[in-house]
Amino acid sequence: MAIELHYWDGELTDELKKEVSSMWPTMYFNDLSAPSNILKTSFNHFYINYQLKTAAVMNSRFAEPLLLDSDNIPVVDPESLYESSIYKEYNTLFWPDIARTRPNNPMWAITNTKCRMDEYEQESGQLIVNKHKYFYHLQLAAWFNNNNLEYYNKFMLGDKDLFRFAWHALKTKYGFPPKWLTSVGTVADGFYCGHSFAQHHPNGSIAFLHGGLVKTMAKEVMKWQRESHGGIFQVYKRSNYDERHDMSIHVGIKLDGGEYLPKRPADLHTAMCTDFYDIEPRPLDEVVPGFQKTFEELGGYWMLDV
C-alpha cells in the first residue's frame, strides 16, 4: 500500500522527505501550495487550516484514497477496509464523531436535509472515498471548505462535517461502520481522561486509534503516566449502545489540570479530555491487546525528547 504525504510549502525539506521515505517502500509527496494542484487552496498562519484536508483528497494521485490524520494510528491492515461489504456497497467510509449536529444548525436547511438525530457528526481523522464515483461530491465539500470557509465555520467545525453535508446535499447515502466510537485514555486517582478515539472496522474490531487530544497533554503528565502506569494507552470506555445510533449517552469534554500528580508544577499546561461519564473504564488490552507496549517500542513518546 502506497503512502502520500500532503504538506504546505516549506513544511517538509528535502532532507526530511528522504528520512521519511526510508520508512516505507512506496512514498509520494505533494506540496499543496504548488500550482500543479487541481484544486488550489490557501494557508493561514493564525488559524487551523481545515481546508487542506479536502484539498489533499481532491489532489491525491489515488483514485480511492484513505485520508489519515498524522496523529492517527491504524491497528489493522487498512487494505481490509476496502474489502468490507459496506465500502463495496457505498464506495465511502465515513466515521462518527462524539456529538450530533443540533436541529437548529443552518446546514440542514442549506443542504435541504431533514435533521437526523440518529446520525452522529463526522470525525474526519480517517475517511475513504471512491473519487471515480464521487468527484462532484468532493468538489462541493471543497467549495464549502475552501471558497467559503469563513462563512461555514460560523456554524460548522471545519472540514469534518462538510464532507457529510456534501453527501446530504446531493442526496447520496454514505457508508459508515455499525459501531460508534470508543474513548481511549488514562486513569489516575479515579480521574479518567479520554485522549483518543478508537474507530471501528465495519467488521466490529477496532481499526484506528486517533489521538486527537494527545497533543494537548502536558509533558509532565505524559512522563508520569509512562513511568507510573506503563504509558498513556491504558483504558477504554465504550457505550452499551454503540450500535444504536439513535441512542444517546452522557458524553462531554472536560479539562485535566493534573491535580493527581505527586509534584504538580504551578504552571502545568491544562489538557482537554473526552469522557463517557456513566461508563466505567476497562483495560485497553481487552480490545487492542499489546498496543501500549507496541507504541513504546515504535518510539511513540518522541515528543518527550523535543
CATH 3.30.465.10 assigned to domain 3-169? The reply is no
148 band by pLDDT with thresholds 50, 70 and 90: confident
pLDDT over 70, % of the chain = 100
SS (H, E, C) 178-214: CCCCEEEEEEECCEEEEEEEEEECCCCCEEEEECCCH
Backbone angles phi, psi at 30, to 5 degrees: -140, 120
pLDDT of residue 147 exceeding 80, the answer is no
Instruction: Residue 279: count other Cβ atoms within 10 Å of its Cβ.
Output: 18
- Mean pLDDT of all residues in 43-53: 87
In this structure, the number of other CB atoms found within 10 A of the CB of residue 138 comes to: 18
Asked if residue 149 has pLDDT above 80, the reply is no
Taking only the tens place, the pLDDT of each residue in 178-235 is: 999 999 999 999 999 999 999 999 999 999 999 999 999 999 999 999 999 999 999 9
Residue 305: which residues within 8 A CB-CB, separation 6 or more?
Answer: none
What is the signed CA dihedral for 149, 154, 160, 161, rounded to 10 degrees? Answer: -110
Q: Does the predicted TM-score (pTM) go above 0.85?
A: yes
* C-alpha grid cell, residue 12: 517538509
Residue 306 has pLDDT above 90, yes or no: no
Q: What is the pLDDT of residue 261?
A: 97
* Alpha carbon distance 4, 56 (integer Å): 9
Taking the domains of the chain in order of start, what are their residue ranges? Answer: 3-169, 182-305
